[in-house]
Amino acid sequence: MRLQLSIFGIPVRIQPWFFLTVLLIGGIDRPMAAAAIWVVAAFLGVLLHELGHAVTCIAFGYRPEIELVAMGGVTRWRRAGPLPPLRHLVISAAGPLTGIVAGGLCLVLLRAVQPAPGTLAGAALSDLVWVNLGWGVLNLLPVLPLDGGNIATSLAEMVFGPRGRVVARWISLAVTVVLALLLVKAGQLWLTILCVYLAAINWRSLQAEQSRGAAGSAAAGAWTAEAHDPEANLARLEETAQEGRWQELAALAESLHDQAQDDALRAHALKALAVARLQLGDPAGTREALDAMPPGTPPDPALIGSLLHDQGQPFAALPHLTQALEHSPSPLVEPRWVAAVTATSRFTEAADLVDAQDGRTSGPGSGISLEALARLDDAAYQAGAFAEAARFQIHLFHRASRPTDAFNAACSLTRAGDVEPALDWLTTAVDAGFDDLDQLDQDSDLEQLHGNPRFIKLRDRLSIDRST
């Protein structure tokens, strides 16, 4: 659950973890009123910082959106092509500079008013100075993913071209290591841990960037012979994706995008790149590929839904994932769809989709996979959605002809209060070969059927079969 609002037409989403993290950082050891002031000051400071980014995006013609998460704020925006380094630099600098200006004004006000020590007014102004001015200056350190790191990246790309990001990663790594050593000497444990965390992020990213660069160089040579054969290039992308070679797919897609002469081929390459980055656990890279799609490219619900899911937004992801599955089952979409259905408890809608899929197709390899149906069955049962669990179990029986699926459907229908359909499916289970008399007697789901004449008849039938 998250709070959503709009400021100057800019969508703002606030995760509840944001407030908890802010409280833990600076308010946990304060009296209640002072802690509340700290949380409000931090909220206003972070929001103002992100609005600085967002308003600058609007000035460049982009559509921004803001999200406040556990570790701070994030501003994202849509664009029709690659973001020039200079614009990226300006957008990155706008956030901390907005905070520094606001913090400077609060500092002037604090010195002009000079509230009495220990008053709530003094605490509020001091917190606003620190959140805006202090955090703004720290955010300008040349360390990714801080804004200063993004500024350093933009400058490095202007000087070194595509290798600028690798140079910025090395700068980030060097700065965090030096800061960590200084902070250890100063006895600042938590700030040391933060620097080590940022150093680890940049080291992993540096390895990925170098690997991507090496793979991209190899891929560029591989594409040379096929540069004027779009069908061969697309076939190779498809083959690499089917084999799950995601790092290679990313490199091939980047190379094809650089060589593409028309928007259709660029769109294919960017879609493949988005899929590869999604499967490599890089949602930021996925969004970057989607945002770079040529103007007029139809949105891809599979990729949009998968990205939203991987960003922890199951409610937003589910309509897109459902739309994608309505069109065609997909190994990219299906597990995320199941997870989103489970997280949102939208089991009725999921069962309707399975009904529609199995109504259009038939056979063991069609529609939603058996594995997905089994996961939905278990999740619905655990959530108490017994009627929907029975629907999934019935589909499992029709698809796999397993007696246990019919038996499970009878159990779920009994829990749902549908006694006669439950007895029908119990009969189907026995007709299909179910013969576990002990389970029939001991399964707590079927207790309310024990006195029913049809149940007694089925039990007697199994008893006779066991004795013979």
The per-residue pLDDT string of the chain (468 residues; one tens digit each, 9 = 90 and over) reads: 567 888 888 888 888 878 888 888 777 778 888 889 988 999 999 999 999 999 998 898 888 888 887 667 888 776 545 567 888 899 999 999 999 999 999 999 988 888 877 788 888 888 899 889 988 898 899 988 888 988 998 898 888 876 787 888 899 999 999 998 998 888 877 778 878 888 888 887 777 665 555 554 444 444 444 444 556 667 777 888 877 888 888 888 887 877 777 788 888 889 999 998 888 888 888 888 888 888 888 889 999 999 988 888 889 899 999 998 888 777 789 999 999 999 999 999 999 999 887 754 444 334 788 889 999 999 999 999 999 999 999 999 998 899 999 999 999 999 999 999 999 999 999 999 998 888 888 889 998 998 899 999 988 888 876 655
Distant-in-sequence contacts of 172-176, Cβ < 8 A, 24+ apart: 172/142, 172/143, 172/144, 172/198, 172/199, 172/202, 173/199, 173/202, 173/203, 173/206, 175/141, 175/142, 175/143, 176/143, 176/202
Q: Quick check: helix, strand or coil at residue 14?
A: strand
**The model's pTM:** 0.54
Cβ neighbours around 364 below 10 Å, total: 10
Classify 255 as helix, strand or coil: helix
Q: How far apart are CA 151 and CA 2, in angstroms?
A: 30
Tell me the β-bridge partners of 66.
12, 75
Domain limits, CATH 1.25.40.10, in the chain: 345-468
Per-residue burial over 366-387, b = 16 or more CB atoms within 10 Å of its CB, e = otherwise: ebbbbebbbbbbebbbeeebbb
Rounded CA gap, 276 and 215, in Å?
13
Distances (CA, A) of 300 to 23, 230, 290: 39, 21, 9
pLDDT at 388: 95
Fold (topology level) of 345-468: 1.25.40
263: number of Cβ within 10 Å: 13
Token pair for 93: 């600098």
Single out the residue of 314, 311, 307, 310 nearest to residue 346, CA to CA.
314
